[in-house]
Amino acid sequence: MPGIYIHVPFCKQKCHYCNFYSVASFKYRDAFVPALLREIKLRNDYLSGKNINTVYFGGGTPSLLKTEEINTILNALNGTFNINNNAEITLEANPDDLSEDYLRQLRQETTVNRLSIGVQSFFDDDLEYLNRVHSGKEAQHAVERAQAAGFSNITIDLIYGIPTLTGEKWRKNLELFFAFDLPHLSSYALTVEPRTSLDVLIKKGKLAGVKEEPAVDHFNILLNETAARGFVHYEISNFAKKGCYSKHNSIYWLGGHYLGLGPSAHSFNGTSRQWNVSNLKQYTGADMVEKIVEEKELLSEKDRYNEYVMTSLRTTWGCDAEHIKNIFGETVKNRFETGIQPFIDRGEVINKNGTYILSGKGKLFADGIAAALFWD
């Protein structure tokens, strides 16, 4: 079932590693919600009457929105689309925004029913390296306050592979996560994206570089510890207790349709992908879809196959040879099976009756394995 993504492009300060579209300026803050409401009206037919199962406020920092603004946006969505009564409604939040008052209002006055809290680490030196705006203690208290306010469907983000993060600290971060008894964890390796502050600062020798070896150790610790606590590793960076998978992100991983609203947001309707301008001035001034959407691409058979292999291999549901045959034909299926055999021989992929999933070892090379199977 389709979902709606809303991109809220404001942050109090930029984290060094960040390559999402967000600005640490509030110049267009007041113009943002009216522009979003305009876009909701303009895009009312994108999901053509389908029932919407998820709404996801991502960013940027959506917890910078006032609860009244969240309600204004949700009311506009409800008035325009068929949003299910029991839809998963997620708000990404930074720990420093989650005061007792804000959480109470979110819980009691909005229909937000899932929080994704950007913790990243519970240690201050890691957070300083990343240039996060909050401290480790603040992160801990934010999760506690969210639970006290009545939120149970909470996920946190933790980053590993940070040069200041030792194996011991990483285990401690995971212990703290388990102590909260939360249903979901998203955990990513720190990557140095080109042209980010992190990239520049490392090149200038002002910050320590990111090494692969500790990240691999951390990843193995993560796999062992989450498995020991009964978490399902259902996507390469995501772990959940049974039945607590992110419904919204599963749409992306399972090839579902979604509408992205807000600057830089992407949309997909099964045949084409399009994305909005990554520019707040342009976005807030736009009065036509043509001015909001920066680019639209029709997906070729090859694109759709590559995307299916890339996303499905990263999930616990795996890559289904029969599905490849049904959608792309016997020749493509045969080529896929020939291409994946060396990875099976090396113990990186497991064939479960025609469904191919990554082994623990293969999870370390997910992107490389998928790339080797691409249809060029």
User: Which residues contact ligand SF4 by CB under 6 A?
Assistant: 11, 14-15, 18, 20, 22, 59-61, 94, 118
285 within 8 A of 312, measured Cβ to Cβ: no
198/244 with CB nearer ligand SF4: 198
Smaller CB distance to ligand SF4: residue 39 or 97? 97
Whose tokens are 């896929």? That residue is 336
Smallest gap from Cβ 77 to ligand SF4, in A, equals 22
Question: Does residue 53 sit in helix, strand or coil?
Answer: strand
Instruction: Give the DSSP H or E segment for 297.
Output: strand 293-298
Identify which of residues 60 and 318 has a Cβ nearer to ligand SF4 in the complex: 60
Q: CA 242, 243, 248: angle at the middle one, nearest 5?
A: 125
Residue 213: how many other CB atoms lie within 10 Å = 8
Which of 10/239 has CB closer to ligand SF4?
10
| Nearest residue relative to ligand SF4 (C-beta) | 18
As given in the structure block, the two tokens for residue 347 are 């113990």
Indicate the residue among 193 and 322 with the shorter CB distance to ligand SF4: 193
Which residue, 15 or 324, has its beta carbon nearer to ligand SF4? 15
How many residues are given for the chain? 376
For residue 93, what are the β-bridge partners? Answer: 117
Going from the C-alpha of 32 to that of each of 11, 24, 274, 336, the distances in angstroms are: 13, 14, 20, 45
Distance CA 206, CA 58 (A): 30
Cα(46)–Cα(293) distance, integer angstroms: 13
